[in-house]
Structure 1
Amino acid sequence: MEKYDLIAPCHFGLEAQTKREITDLGYEVTHVEDGKVTFAGDAEAVACSNLFLRTTERILLRVGQFRAVTFDELFEATRAIPWERYIPKNGKFWVAKANSIKSRLFSPSDIQSIMKKAMVERLKEKYHCDWFPEDGADFPVRVTLMKDVVTVCLDTTGVSLHKRGYRKATVKAPITETLASALIMLTPWKGGRILADPFCGSGTFCIEAAMMAAHMAPGRNRTFLAEQWTNLIPGTCWKNAREEADDMLDPGVQTDIQGFDIDADVIAAARENAERAGVDHLIHFQRRPVSEFSHSGKYGFIITNPPYGERLEEKENLPELYRTLGERFERLDSWSLYVISAWPDTERYIGRKADKNRKIYNGMMKTYFYQWPGPKPPKRPAVREAANNRKA
C-alpha cells in the first residue's frame, strides 16, 4: 500500500501522549511539534488511527508542503499538487479551513478562494473537463501557514474525534473526551485501580476511563469521512479495523469507577452518556456534594475538573470548594489527586503544593494539571514471585 504522511493534531502540552499512542499502534512517528504529531502510515493506518487514537482531534493526510509569500506563489504551488491522485472526478472538494500564523499571507478567506481556484484548474486539466458535478464523496482540505510555510492536508475524519458519539447530554464547561483521555494517560491509573471524580459533570473522565478499562476503541460507535474514499482507502481497511476493535473489547472487566456531582440533572445526564457509550455497567454515578466524598479503598485516584469560576457568582464559592476537596483527599488512605483547573489559587486552597503541574491549553484557555501522586500499592505475591524468577 502507498505510504502517506499523516498528521494527528492534539492539545498543546500533550503531544507525548499522542506520540505514545501512535507508536503503540505500530506506526513510525516522524515529527513532533506544538499541537501535532506527524507519522508515516498507509491506508490501513488511516482507518486504525481514526478508530483507535484517544487523544487526537482528527487525522489529516498531508498532500503538499511549500513556501509561499505571495498569492501567485500560493496559486502555482497549490496547482502543482497532484490532486488527481486523491480526488476523483465526481469528488466534492473545498478548502474547509485555513489558519495563518506569523505569515505574510494572512487572510483565511483569500487563501481559501485562491487555493480552490488552483485545485479546479489542476483537475480541469487532468480530467479534461470544464465542470465538476461534485456529487461524490467529500474531500475537505485544511491548510496551515506557519512562518510562510504552507501545509496542505485532506481531512480524513470529518466530525472531530473528540465526538465519540455518546455525549448527547452535556453540561456547562465540559472537558472534551480527547483531553480527558490524555490527562488520564498522564497518571499511573490502570483499569484495575479505583478512580473517582467528585465533580463529574457529564461523566467524561469516568466514561473515558471505563472505555480504557474495557479496551473499547474510542471510534467504535461512529463513522469517518474517509470511509467514503474508496479510491484511496479500501473498505477492507475499515472492516479489518472494526473487527480488531470488536476482538479487543472486554465488556466484562471488573472496575471501581465512581462519579459524583451535587446536581441531580447533571448525574442523570452522565448516566445517559455512559449508557450510550456502552459502559454504564462499569460506572457508579451518584448525587453527592464534595463535602460527603469518601471511599474505604486504598491507592485510589481522584481525577477531576472542578469549577474554575468563569462566572462572578461562582468565584465566591471557589475557596470553600477547593478547601473541601483538599480536606476530603487528606482523609483517603494512600490516594492520588489530579486536578485540571484555570484557577490560580488551586494549590493554596487545596492546602498542598502540587508535586508536579503541567501547563495545558483547554481550547484557548490556559489551565494547569496539578498532580499529587500517592504511594504505589504493594505488588501482589504472584507478581513479586514472577519478577524474582525473571531476575534469577
Structure 2
Amino acid sequence: MNHVTFIATAAFGLEAVVARELHGMGYTNTTSHNGYVEFQADATALATANLWLRTADRLYLKMGEFAADTFDQLFEGTKQLPWWEWLPVNARFPVSGRSVDSVLHSVPACQSIVKKAIVDSLLAHYQTAELPETGATFAVQVVLIKDVAHLWLDTSGEGLHKRGYRQLTATAPLRETLAAALVLLSRWQGHRPLLDPLCGSGTIAVEAALIGRNRAPGLDRRFASEEWPALSPAAWREAREVARSSERTDALDIVASDIDKSMLSYVGYHARKAGVGKDIRIEQADVRSLRIDRDYGCLITNPPYGERMGHRDELGDLYLAFARMLRKAPTWSLFVITSDTHFEKQFGRRADKRRKLYNGRIATQFYQVLGPMPPRPAEHWLRSGPLQRDKQKE
C-alpha cells in the first residue's frame, strides 16, 4: 500500500483548483476528470489530503475500475479486487452508487451485487463463515459511467465542506468549499486587504482567514478513515502536528460587512468557532456607500440572486456601486459570483475573466475584474499547505 490511488471529488468547474491544491501538498501525479481529480500517493495522504483540501467535496480511495455492462461482469470484477488490503474481517461496508449513461442503470441492483461480491471476497480471504460488520465504517461507492464501473472507498465520512465552524444557518448560504475556491481563484494572499460587503453568515471571510492563516480546514473535525487500521493513530497525530506548526501568525486585513445587522452575529460566531475571530473586522454597512482607504485589495462577494433584496432590478444598484468603488480604488480587484447574466451590462464593462461554477444546482458565473498586482510579498506568503516533514523536524 505504498502507492495508493486517490479520488478527490469536486463541483464541476473546480477540478483545476483541486489539482492545484494537491500540487501544493506535493502530490503532483494528478489526472483531472469531470467532477474529480485522481492522484497517486502513499497511505499518509489519507490524513494530509483530508486535513488540507479546501475545495474538494470528498476524498476517496480507488479500489479499481473495469468494464461492466452485465451484472456478471460487475460481480466478478468487484470480487477480484483486493478488498482485504483495507477492510478487516469486522468492517462495516455500506454500498451506495450512481449510474450515468450505462446499461446497468438500476442503482439498487448494482449496489446489491457489489455488496455480495465484497462479502464473497472477504469470506474467502479470511476463511470465515460470517462477517459481523461491527467495526469501523468503509463506505463503498460504485460509480457506473458509460459502462465502466469505478469502485471507491470513502475516506472522509462527512463531506469536506463540514469544517465544524458553521452551525448557524442563513438564507442561501455559500458552501465552504465553494467559498474557499473563490478566494483561491482570486489569487488573494494574506498581505492584501480583502472585503466581502455582502457577507451574509461570513463564509467567504472565514475561508479567506483560514487561507491567510495557512490553517488546515479539517483540523477541528474527524474523518472516517481515522478508524482504519491501515494508517496508525500516530500518523494522524503527526499530520495534525504538522498542520498546527504550519499556521502563520501575521496580521490579516479582512473585512466582512453587511447591511443586515442580524447576519453579523453569525459572522462573529463562525469566525470564533473557526479560530480566526481576531482576523476579521465586522462592520454594518450599506454596500452602496463603500469607502476604500487601502490599496491592492480584493472584493470577493456572493450577491443575493434576487431573493434577499426583494426585486432583481435592485441588483443593478449593487453592480453600479462596485463600479464606483473601482473608479475610486483603481488598485483593487473585483470578484463576483452570480447567476445574473446581466452583470457585465449593468456593471458597465466586461470582466477580464469569467468562469462557470455551480452554487449547489444553480449555474453561475464567477466574474473577475482584475486590478494591478501589488508589490511582491514576503517570501513566506508564497508558501501554503503543510510544511515539509524534513523542515518540520529541524
Q: Same fold (TM over 0.5)?
A: yes
**Distance in 1 of aligned mates of 2:86 and 2:123:** 14
**Is residue 50–residue 157 contact of structure 1 (8 Å, CA) maintained in 2?**
yes
TM-score, with length taken from structure 2: 0.92
SS class of match (2:163): coil
Equivalent residue letter for 1:67: A
**Distance in 2 of aligned mates of 1:134 and 1:370:** 49
**Is residue 43–residue 237 contact of structure 1 (8 Å, CA) maintained in 2?**
no
Residue 138 (structure 1) aligned with residue 137 (structure 2): yes
Shift of 1:311: 7.8
**Distance in 2 of aligned mates of 1:212 and 1:377:** 18
**Distance in 2 of aligned mates of 1:379 and 1:245:** 26
Deviates more, 1:14-23 or 1:187-196: 14-23
**Distance in 2 of aligned mates of 1:110 and 1:291:** 56
TM-score, with length taken from structure 1: 0.92
SS class of match (1:62): strand
Closer, same or farther: CA 379–147 of 1 in aligned 2, 3 Å: closer
**Is residue 332–residue 370 contact of structure 2 (8 Å, CA) maintained in 1?**
yes
**Distance in 1 of aligned mates of 2:17 and 2:33:** 13
Match of 1:219 in 2: 218
**Distance in 1 of aligned mates of 2:244 and 2:57:** 22
Equivalent residue letter for 2:283: Q
Shift of 1:310: 5.2
Match of 2:234 in 1: 236
Give the aligned length: 379
CA RMSD of the aligned region, Å? 1.8
Residue 329 (structure 1) aligned with residue 326 (structure 2): yes
| Of 346, 360, 364, the match for 2:361 | 364
Unaligned segments of structure 2, at least 5 residues: 380-394
Match of 1:246 in 2: 244
| Of 294, 312, 315, the match for 1:315 | 312
Shift of 1:324: 2.7
**Distance in 1 of aligned mates of 2:313 and 2:356:** 25
Residue 170 (structure 1) aligned with residue 163 (structure 2): no
Closer, same or farther: CA 12–246 of 1 in aligned 2, 3 Å: same
| 1:26-78 CA distance string (max 9 Å, x none) | 12324111221111111111110001121111110001111101112111211
**Distance in 2 of aligned mates of 1:87 and 1:310:** 48
Shift of 1:378: 4.3
Which residues of 2 match residues 64-75 of structure 1 at below 5 A?
64-75=64-75
Residue 263 (structure 1) aligned with residue 260 (structure 2): yes
Match of 1:159 in 2: 158
Residue 87 (structure 1) aligned with residue 102 (structure 2): no
Percent of pairs identical after alignment?
43
Match of 2:12 in 1: 12
Residue 347 (structure 1) aligned with residue 340 (structure 2): no
Residue 301 (structure 1) aligned with residue 298 (structure 2): yes
SS class of match (1:28): coil
**Distance in 2 of aligned mates of 1:373 and 1:5:** 37
Shift of 1:328: 3.1
SS class of match (1:259): strand
Match of 1:390 in 2: none
**Distance in 1 of aligned mates of 2:308 and 2:368:** 25
**Distance in 1 of aligned mates of 2:376 and 2:18:** 29
**Is residue 94–residue 141 contact of structure 1 (8 Å, CA) maintained in 2?**
yes
Equivalent residue letter for 1:336: S
| Of 279, 293, 298, the match for 2:276 | 279
Shift of 1:312: 9.7
| 1:287-337 CA distance string (max 9 Å, x none) | 212112212111111011101125894424322233333333332242110
**Distance in 1 of aligned mates of 2:143 and 2:360:** 18
**Distance in 2 of aligned mates of 1:379 and 1:19:** 25
SS class of match (1:222): coil
Equivalent residue letter for 2:29: V
Which residues of 2 match residues 20-59 of structure 1 at below 5 A?
20-59=20-59
Equivalent residue letter for 2:91: G
